Amino acid sequence: MEKLLIENLENNTEDKIAVVNKIIKFSNVDGPGNRIAIFFQGCNIDCAYCHNPETISIGSNEYTKNYSVTSLLEEVEKVKHFIKGVTVSGGECSLQYQFISNFFKNIKLKYPNLTCFVDTNGTLDLSKDLFRDFIKYTDYFMLDVKAWKSDDHIKLTGINNDNILKNLLFLKNSNKLFEVRTVIVPGVLDNETTVEKVSEIISDTEINYKLIKYRSIGVRETKLVGINSPTTQYMENLKKLSLSFGIKNVVII
């Protein structure tokens, strides 16, 4: 599946327009400090717990808006005095990596004090040469590691996690990883193994680990029927497990 997707991306020379689902002008949950968060339309997977299913379909629809790099820079211009940086999210924003590379390159030229962050599901192999500029102009990535075990990942998203685990190491070793995120779903995923393995890998770094409580509100009715949110005690135990590996910043949300 990924091979097909990469070929499509390589053939897609049209990087002048991005399809955006929404823009939050001031967000303090999408990276460090106050940031403008831009949610690109389109995702390449379909997570059972997706809280933004309206961002999954690829291409424009009645709720999206098309932006050129120039018009998106105008949005940044309006808030530049009040933000620390720009975060691109989705959907899966890396599907529009050519546009984002160009956008971030322009941010670096016009607003050198602003940082550029990418929030990604990590399903595309970012070590590939075609992503070189995307990596170069992005200061930091925030990466979802939804499940360590491939079977769990397939159950949750429909695809394996090979590229995600590869990206975890690649971004860590490139000093480009700001944060790892795991949604904790009790009774469905082996959360302990995921937290343990991720913590082991990032233990010798400053990388943050965000443990996100699964919440059923907003999840499509046909998915994860009857699954409850984890208890506070369960989340605290996972946090303790992560801290035992020496992680400096573990946050529960």
Q: Of the listed pieces 4-12, 43-51, 97-105, 174-182, which binds ligand SF4 according to CB under 6 A?
A: 43-51
Q: Point out which span in 9-17, 42-50, 67-75, 196-204 binds ligand SF4 (CB under 6 A).
A: 42-50
- Regarding 52 and contact with ligand SF4 (CB under 6 A), the answer is yes
Least distance from ligand SF4 to the Cβ atom of residue 125, Å: 16
Q: Smallest gap, in angstroms, from Cβ of residue 91 to ligand SF4? A: 5
In terms of CB distance, is 93 or 201 closer to ligand SF4? 93
Tokens coding 44: 């390449």
Stretch in the footprint of ligand SF4 (CB under 6 A) among 12-20, 45-53, 74-82, 215-223: 45-53
Exactly one of 20, 36, 38, 43 binds ligand SF4 (CB under 6 A); that residue is 43
Query: Does residue 196 belong to the site contacting ligand SF4 (CB under 6 A)?
Result: no
User: Residue 39 CB, nearest distance to ligand SF4 (Å)?
Assistant: 9
Q: Which of residues 71-100 bind ligand SF4 (CB under 6 A)?
A: 90-92
DSSP string covering the chain: -HHHHHHHHHH----SEEEEEEEEEEESSSSSSSEEEEEES--S---TT-S-GGGTS-S--TT-EEEEHHHHHHHHHHHGGG-SEEEEESS-GGGGHHHHHHHHHHHHHH-TTSEEEEEE---S-TTSGGGHHHHHH-SEEEEE---SSHHHHHHHHSS--HHHHHHHHHHHHTT-EEEEEEEE-TTTS-HHHHHHHHHHHHTTS--EEEEEE---TTS-TTSSTTPPPPPHHHHHHHHHHHHTTT-S-EEE-
Cβ at position 55, least distance to ligand SF4 in Å? 5
Nearer to ligand SF4, 52 or 205 (CB): 52
Q: Which residues bind ligand SF4 (CB under 6 A)?
A: 43, 45-47, 50, 52, 55-56, 90-92, 121
